Amino acid sequence: MRGNPLSETKLTVIYDNPTDPDAFESAYESEQLELARRIPGYLRLEASKVWPKEDGSPTPAYRMIDLYYPSYDDVSAAVTTPEAGAFFEALGRIATGGVRVLVSDIEVPQH
């Protein structure tokens, strides 16, 4: 088992700026957010959209989804499920600007 056994582990998906924001937004709810909700074992889910920059320049990212799990082992098991497979397959189609996926040990939880 990795990480502190008392801390949670977070799976983060960072969507870079899509080549067509309207097309991304039209698919996001059903092909990402809804599919993320179906991935088993998470404690909570957060979805966020990056605020636009005041000067109009591109933001460093566009959206994020965070899934919080009890442990590294739990997230490792979750990403091998068919539900995660459907999520990642759709991710490959709609994340036209690029995407980053991270697994992090939460060192200071919000409890």
Domain for residue 29, yes or no?
A: yes
Q: What stretch of H or E contains 92?
A: helix 82-94
Q: How much is the pLDDT for 108?
A: 77
CA distance 36 to 78: 11
Domain for residue 89, yes or no?
A: yes
Q: Please say whether the beta carbons of 8 and 67 come within 8 A.
A: no
Domain for residue 25, yes or no?
A: yes
Work out how many domains the chain is built from and give that number: 1
Domain for residue 2, yes or no?
A: no
pLDDT per residue as tens digits for the range 39-56: 999 999 999 999 988 998
CA distance 96 to 90: 11
3-class DSSP state of 111: coil
Nearest of 62, 51, 54 to residue 22 by alpha carbon: 62
CATH code of residue 40: 3.30.70.100
Those residues of the chain that have pLDDT short of 50 are 3
Q: How much is the pLDDT for 58?
A: 85
Q: How much is the pLDDT for 56?
A: 84
Domain for residue 87, yes or no?
A: yes
pTM, rounded to two decimals: 0.89
Q: Which domain holds residue 60?
A: 9-105
